[in-house]
């Protein structure tokens, strides 16, 4: 039976074939979820092609690339209480969205359900999921799953009102480590985030990914998050660790330079985390979790 509690929001750019395949996979799900696709200014005709092949999908065609922040436009367009994020190279297993919606129905303090992600045709576990499963954060007895302070954006289900209440993904962070701000801000506002192994998603990494740019953005965003949310002493320690790691990598070093260019933006958006969240992040840091 169709389950309209969850809308799938997908962002895409210049991957018309992959986006078409992802929508076809969504259409076969037993939940039959409504879908919103946000095209981040693709110059390859993605928007027109998707509109022609999937007229039942709501399409938001942007003139410019908003990166992860494009998801927020999709969330605003959704009429359901929950939103499942999906990239053009990810998909949801049958029953996963219904399971996540059941959990969100039953636990109104939960804002994010992070999925167990299977990667590639062979379905190997994503390393991030192994870290989430081994989270050192203290368990909350009344909640299912494992408490987390980070997740994979394109393979998560969020409570729409909670997401919008903290502003969603930031406009400037692009795609790469953008989850850090959202996770920390939700937790600071009192929401819970959980990893649930029996909510399953799949990831077939795109062959068109710009891995060089992604490393650069990852380093930049890691520094911006550290400077804008962490305590000064922790921020200094983590900055030195990132600098040591980036020093011998030209692309990561370029990310450091990008971060320095955004210092003024970071100052305007600095908002230290709630003490309990800072404590949780220190536990994750000590355990070597990303």
Q: What is the pLDDT along the chain (290 residues), one digit of tens a residue?
A: 789 999 999 999 988 889 999 999 999 999 999 999 999 999 888 888 888 888 889 999 999 889 889 999 999 999 999 999 999 999 999 999 999 999 999 999 999 999 999 999 899 999 999 999 999 999 999 999 999 999 999 899 999 999 999 999 887 766 777 899 999 999 999 999 999 999 999 998 877 766 777 788 888 889 999 999 999 998 898 889 888 888 888 888 888 899 999 999 899 889 999 999 999 999 998 888 77
What is the DSSP pairing of strand 90-92 with strand 58-61? unpaired
Q: Which fold has domain 6-203?
A: Spore Coat Polysaccharide Biosynthesis Protein SpsA; Chain A (3.90.550)
Strands (E), the chain: 6-12, 35-39, 58-61, 82-87, 90-92, 110-119, 124-125, 146-147, 156-159, 192-203
Is the distance from CB of 153 to CB of 54 less than 8 angstroms? Answer: no
In the chain, domain spans: 6-203, 211-286
Is the distance from CB of 149 to CB of 111 less than 8 angstroms? Answer: no
What's the sign of the alpha-carbon dihedral 12, 13, 16, 21?
negative
The tokens for 16 are 């018309």
What's the sign of the alpha-carbon dihedral 69, 242, 239, 117?
positive
Strands (E), 204-267: none
Q: Of 10, 18, 20, give the one whose Cα is nearest residue 40.
A: 10
Q: Of 182, 188, 177, give the one whose Cα is nearest residue 222.
A: 177
């Amino acid at each position: 039976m169709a389950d309209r509690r969850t809308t799938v929001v997908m962002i895409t750019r210049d991957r018309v074939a992959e986006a078409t395949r992802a929508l076809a996979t969504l259409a076969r799900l037993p939940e039959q979820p409504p879908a919103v696709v946000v095209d981040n200014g693709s110059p390859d005709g993605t928007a027109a092609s998707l509109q022609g092949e999937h007229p039942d999908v709501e399409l938001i065609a942007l003139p410019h690339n908003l990166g992860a922040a494009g998801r927020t436009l999709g969330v605003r367009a959704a009429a359901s209480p929950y939103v499942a994020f999906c990239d053009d190279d990810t998909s949801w297993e049958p029953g996963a969205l219904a399971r996540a919606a059941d959990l969100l129905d039953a636990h109104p303090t939960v804002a994010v359900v992070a999925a167990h992600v299977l990667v590639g045709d062979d379905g190997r576990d994503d390393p991030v999921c192994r870290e989430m499963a081994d989270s050192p954060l203290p368990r909350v007895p009344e909640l299912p799953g494992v408490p987390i302070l980070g997740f994979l954006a394109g393979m998560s289900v969020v409570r729409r009102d909670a997401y919008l209440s903290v502003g969603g993904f930031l406009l400037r962070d692009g795609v790469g480590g953008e989850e850090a701000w959202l996770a920390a801000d939700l937790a600071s506002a009192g929401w819970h985030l959980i990893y649930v192994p029996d909510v399953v998603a799949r990831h077939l990494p795109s062959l068109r990914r710009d891995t060089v740019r992604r490393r650069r953005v990852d380093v930049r965003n890691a520094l911006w998050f550290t400077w804008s949310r962490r305590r000064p002493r922790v921020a200094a320690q983590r900055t030195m660790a990132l600098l040591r790691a980036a020093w011998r990598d030209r692309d990561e070093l370029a990310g450091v330079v990008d971060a320095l260019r955004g210092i003024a933006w970071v100052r305007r958006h600095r908002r230290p985390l709630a003490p309990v969240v800072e404590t949780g992040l220190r536990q994750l840091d000590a355990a070597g979790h990303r």
